[in-house]
Amino acid sequence: MSMAKLTLNGEEYEFPVVVGTENETGIDFSTLRARTGAIALDPGYGNTGSCLSTITFIDGEKGILRYRGYPIEEIAESASFEEVCYLLIYGHLPTDDELAGFVRELRLHTMIREEMKDFFKDFPMTAHPMMVLSAMLASLSAYYPSGSDDEEVDLNIIRLLAKAETIAAFSYKKSVGQPWVYPRNDLSYTENFLRMMFAVPAEPYVVSPVQARALNLLLMLHADHEQNCSTSTVRMVGSSQANLFAAIAAGVYALWGPLHGGANQKVIEMLRMIRADGGDYGKYVAMAKDKDSPFRLMGFGHRVYKNFDPRARILKKAADEVLGDLGVEDPLLEIAKNLERVALEDEFFVERKLYPNVDFYSGILYRAMGIPSNMFTVMFALGRLPGWISQWKEMREDPKAKIARPRQIYLGERTRPFAPRAARQAEPAPELTSA
């Protein structure tokens, strides 16, 4: 085993170097504080590995993403979302029997308890569907308490995946004031979701195969992305042994923010704004570069990718195909492509290695499918569920897993005597002096 040396206050310490299967290198500082009294300071955790994992590999410099070793491009070509769920959660591609059993279980658990529908009623119509999704997922723990045996955990995993799509579709129906459409056991995950979103009771509805394929692709591309903000949140909440539903509900909230999964909604808002402003993308690229402006190109940049996000590449191609197949012409797609071209030729973006991320083109696809922008991040959450679940499960099964508890460097006041309130009030107020 190779070692890394650290010199601190004249003393030398050695720490083991851990090398992953793709040669990524880490220094194991888990004994740092016990041995040296110092901690590793890394705000934003850009240099900190929080776990050892066998689920997802990313090489941000080369633009590589693999689930359990399978390249995302090959998964995107021919897998189904259900297969990807199984792969991520159970670690191997399912046999035909395993997949059939898994799909059957998913279809049997799509209903939510009838009384849960009342919870939706009390949210205002303006409630953001991400808020509703998280609250409803947390509420599942009231009905399905988490025991510790594996069978119960497996059943809760199925319940979570299956009921999440019903909850997501119901949250949309609530926001547009339409009656709920119940799930059907004979449809695939994506077909069922589209039907619950867009069908109206007593009216015939046929799921468009183009839409179902596009949704399958979108969900698979979002399925996992190793230790990002929301996944780390799921692991952090789960590390206290809070139940699966609570950990995932917390992950939904972490995903909501515009710097993370909420960016897909913001991208469309930005493209609309550019269009309304005459389509002058150069002006917005200039604003994004201006340090005095808070404006950023949404859907651009990534903590890990310093090259094309491979998911954005796949989605850009899919956007052309799906819009073509659906016969949709979206002027925002043209603006997005032009914005990308202008930004990628600009020194500011080149120097900082800022490329389009997964959120840049996903919204264009959702729009073409008739999904409104306030549902985009919900769609991301549905896709990310198997990733969150597999990461939570990996942590739960790790005998060495500990409660997550970072430290800090304190910069506040040093010890000072506490004066009781009465004594503080008795003190004369400091005199104001005029200049």
Q: Does residue number 354 form part of the binding site for ligand ACO (CB under 6 A)? A: yes
Active site residue 109: no
Residue 296 CB, nearest distance to ligand ACO (Å)? 4
Candidates 162, 166, 213, 172; CA nearest to 365 is: 213
Q: Does residue number 263 form part of the binding site for ligand ACO (CB under 6 A)? A: yes
Which of residues 260 and 393 has its CB atom nearest to ligand ACO in the complex?
A: 260
Q: Does residue number 357 form part of the binding site for ligand ACO (CB under 6 A)? A: yes
Which residues from 303-342 bind ligand ACO, rule CB under 6 A?
303
What is the helix (H) or strand (E) element at residue 171, kind and residue range? helix 150-176
Q: Does residue number 297 form part of the binding site for ligand ACO (CB under 6 A)? A: yes
Which residues from 75-114 bind ligand ACO, rule CB under 6 A?
none
User: Are residues 375 and 132 in contact, defined by beta-carbon separation less than 8 angstroms?
Assistant: no
Could you tell me which residues come within 8 angstroms of residue 183 by beta carbon, excluding any fewer than 6 positions away?
A: 110, 111, 165, 166, 192, 196
Q: For ligand ACO, which stretch binds (CB under 6 A), given 27-35, 313-321, 330-338, 350-358?
A: 350-358
Q: For ligand ACO, which stretch binds (CB under 6 A), given 118-126, 132-140, 207-215, 256-264?
A: 256-264
Which of residues 261 and 363 has its CB atom nearest to ligand ACO in the complex?
A: 261
Candidates 212, 256, 255; CA nearest to 234 is: 255
Which residues from 210-249 bind ligand ACO, rule CB under 6 A?
none
Distance CA(362)–CA(322), nearest Å, equals 11
Q: Which CA distances in Å does 305 have to 27, 140, 337?
A: 22, 35, 19
Residue 358 CB, nearest distance to ligand ACO (Å)? 5
**Of the residues 109, 128, 225, 302, which is catalytic?**
302
Active site residue 225: no
Six-digit token pair at 63? 């633009």
Q: For ligand ACO, which stretch binds (CB under 6 A), given 59-67, 155-163, 166-174, 355-363?
A: 355-363
Q: For ligand ACO, which stretch binds (CB under 6 A), given 1-9, 108-116, 164-172, 291-299?
A: 291-299
Beta bridge pairs of residue 67: 56, 70
Q: Does residue number 62 form part of the binding site for ligand ACO (CB under 6 A)? A: no
Residue 288 CB, nearest distance to ligand ACO (Å)? 4
Six-digit token pair at 251? 């992950």
Beta bridge pairs of residue 17: 27
Task: Determine the residue type at 42.
Answer: D
Could you tell me which residues come within 8 angstroms of residue 281 by beta carbon, excluding any fewer than 6 positions away?
A: 274, 335, 338, 339, 342
Residue 351 CB, nearest distance to ligand ACO (Å)? 9
User: Are residues 229 and 235 in contact, defined by beta-carbon separation less than 8 angstroms?
Assistant: no
Residue 259 CB, nearest distance to ligand ACO (Å)? 4
Distance CA(313)–CA(356), nearest Å, equals 9
Distance CA(374)–CA(351), nearest Å, equals 33
Q: For ligand ACO, which stretch binds (CB under 6 A), given 113-121, 207-215, 296-304, 422-430?
A: 296-304
**Which residues would be at the binding site for ligand ACO (CB under 6 A)?**
259-261, 263, 288, 296-303, 352, 354, 357-359
| Residues noted as catalytic | 302, 359
